[in-house]
Amino acid sequence: MGLFDFFKKKETAPEAQEALNKGLEKTKAGFLSKLTKAVAGKSTVDDDVLDNLEEVLVTSDVGVSTTLKIIERIQERVAKDKYLSTSELNLLLRDEIQLLLSENNSNDFRSFEYGDHKPYVIMVVGVNGVGKTTTIGKLAHKLKSENLKVVLGAADTFRAAAVEQIRLWAERVGVRVVAQAMGSDPASVAFDTLQSAVANGEDVVIIDTAGRLHNKVGLMNELGKIKNVMQKVVPGAPHEILLVLDGSTGQNAFEQCKQFTEATDVNALAITKLDGTAKGGVVIGISDQFKIPVKYIGVGESMNDLQLFDKKAFVDGLFK
């Protein structure tokens, strides 16, 4: 079975959709109440309604650029049908958001296969406090539940707490961890982790990295060094550079995404803490602006609340 085939089996299950719907409750409540006010007293979609809709999307943290794109598309649809009713606006908006997400994630995770990569190497980046370590732990749990051998590399050696958190997650999940003393060279930890993964025949390596947004050059050099060292052990590694963003920070998440994508070749996103915020619209904006697939979303505290991002299920959760 391909590395992530198990997601296809589980994440489309009714319980996964239910967890997603629950995780999006705050976003949905804010979004739909604003949408209702935007069309109050109007029977057709006119300029006033579109102006109000623009405000709804911007204040839902979809982002100005993406909002303007959605409004422009809806204007085109309205121009074709002069008598488009406000009752149809929800359906129209839902279609356009889903279409936008599909366009921005052409490399859809549902068809992802790890092929011949063994070990498959994931380097996880992101600032402190976004749920990086928790995401690593939950991902390790999901992989291990499918009998895949997983090892974690504690390469955030600048914080003693970071190494300890990785150790705790490894113990909780029941996977191996490679760590060195605090202050050790992160690239050395990554090198040792990959070497031992190859020796032990492990399937997946997940490398944690320091969550500091220090100057961009420093960040770029540090992550570049880790990548170069890993490639000496596993050519082509890391196969995935996963940027973890905190959905509850709204526009700050856009800025973090900008910084990290300029510093390294991020090719996957995980957006966490969506259950505790009304800012879930950030998923739409970040996906659109950065053209990087959102692969995982965090919708709760439990071990199983890291979900594969399903575009249709996400949009359904916003509008149901």
Residues forming the annotated binding site for GTP?
Answer: 126-133, 208-212, 272-275
Q: Is 133 within 8 Å of 214 (Cβ atoms)?
A: no
Nearest to 108 by CA among 318, 317, 247, 292: 292
Task: Specify the pairing of strand 120-125 against strand 176-178.
Answer: unpaired
Q: What residue numbers does the annotated binding site cover?
A: 126-133, 208-212, 272-275
